[in-house]
A = this chain, B = another copy of it.
Amino acid sequence: MTEVLKKLPQTKHPDLLVGFNKADDAAVFRISENQALVQTVDFFPPIVDDPYDFGRIAAANALSDVFAMGGRPLTALNIVGFPVGEMAPDILTEILRGGSEKIEEAGAFIVGGHSIKDKELKYGVAVTGLINPARILTNAGAQPGDILFLTKPLGTGLITTAIKKNAVDGDPVNAAIAQMTALNSKAAELMLSHDAHAATDITGYGLLGHAYEIACASDVTIRVFPNRLPLLQQALELAIPEMVPGGGRNNRDYLDGKVHFTDKTDERYRIVLFDPQTSGGLLIAVPEDRAGGFQRALRDNGLPDRQIGQVEPRNEYPIMVA
C-alpha cells in the first residue's frame, strides 16, 4: 500500500510541520503560532475475540500516534465497517463502547463517525489532538548518547496469531489484551517532562522497524539489548516460525542487511524483535543525564523501566542488536 501512496504528489505547506511523506506516526498542521493539530487515522479487522476488547484496542492504538508525538487527543471520529444482517448489532454496540471508553480515558471526545455496511467487520478512529509546535517529538532528534526505553512489552503479533490458531489461552491472552488496551498517555507525559529527544510508537513494523525509522531520521545507529526487552508472557515460547504473522516476515525481509546481529542473538529473540505490534509501547530516546530520573518515573508509574538500548554515532549499520 505504501508503494501506491508514494506515487502521489506530496503535500507541501509551511504549516504542515510533519507530513505523511515522513515515516512519523501522525501529521502535524499548525493553526496558530502556539497551536497545531496532530492527526491520525487507523482501523482494522478484529484481532481478539471479544468485541469490547477489540474496540478498546483499536482506539488505544489510534490514540497512541498522537501521544507518541507529544500531543493531547481532543476529538475522535468512529470508522465502522459492519456486516449488517449477518452479525448481531450488539457486537457493534460493544465495540463502540470499548472505543468510547478509551477515547474518554484519553481526555478526548467522540464527535461523530461513519459506518458502512461491509462484508468484513472493521473498526477504528480518526483522532485529532492539539500540540505545541515548539514541542513536537518525532523520529528525528535522537542523539548519540541517548538512552532508549520501551514502555510496553513486545509480542502482541505472536500472541494474536496464536489466539487465531487456538494455541494460547488464559493469562497470556489476558495480559496481552491488558497491554494493547493500555494508553500510552502516561509514558508520553513523562517523556515530555524529561525532555526526550525522539519518540515513536511501536506498531506494525515491529521494534526494529520503528527503531530503523528513528535511525534514518536522526542519522544515528540504534543499539538494542535483546535481553533487556520487556516481553509479554509466553512471547518467547510462541516465537516459533508457525506463529510468525505475515507482517513479521515482511519486517524481516525489509530490514535485511540493515540490522547487525551478534552471533549470540537467539532466533526466538530475533522473531520478537521483528514482531509487528498492535497498540505497542513508545520507544523513547532520552538524553543520558535525564535517563535516571526518567527510569524512576517509569517505575513509579508501573511501566517497563529497563534501558533497552542506546543511540550511537551512525556506523555501517542503522541497527545493531546487542
* A→B interface (CB under 8 Å): 1, 3-5, 7-9, 11, 13, 16, 19-20, 26-27, 29, 31-32, 35, 37, 39-44, 74-75, 77-82, 84, 89, 92-93, 96-97, 100, 109-120, 122, 124, 126, 128, 130
Contact = CB atoms under 8 A, between A and B. Distances in A.
Given A26-B112, A122-B116, A75 B43 contact: no
A114 to B, nearest CB: 5
B29 A113 contact: no
Copy tally for this chain in the complex stands at 2
A80 B79 CA distance: 11
A79 to B, nearest CB: 6
Given A7-B93, A20-B112, A120 B122 contact: no
Given A8-B110, A37-B128, A114-B124, 19 more contacts: A1-B82, A1-B117, A4-B92, A5-B78, A8-B93, A19-B111, A19-B112, A20-B111, A29-B74, A29-B111, A39-B75, A39-B111, A40-B77, A41-B79, A41-B113, A43-B114, A79-B126, A119-B119, A128-B128
B43 A111 contact: no
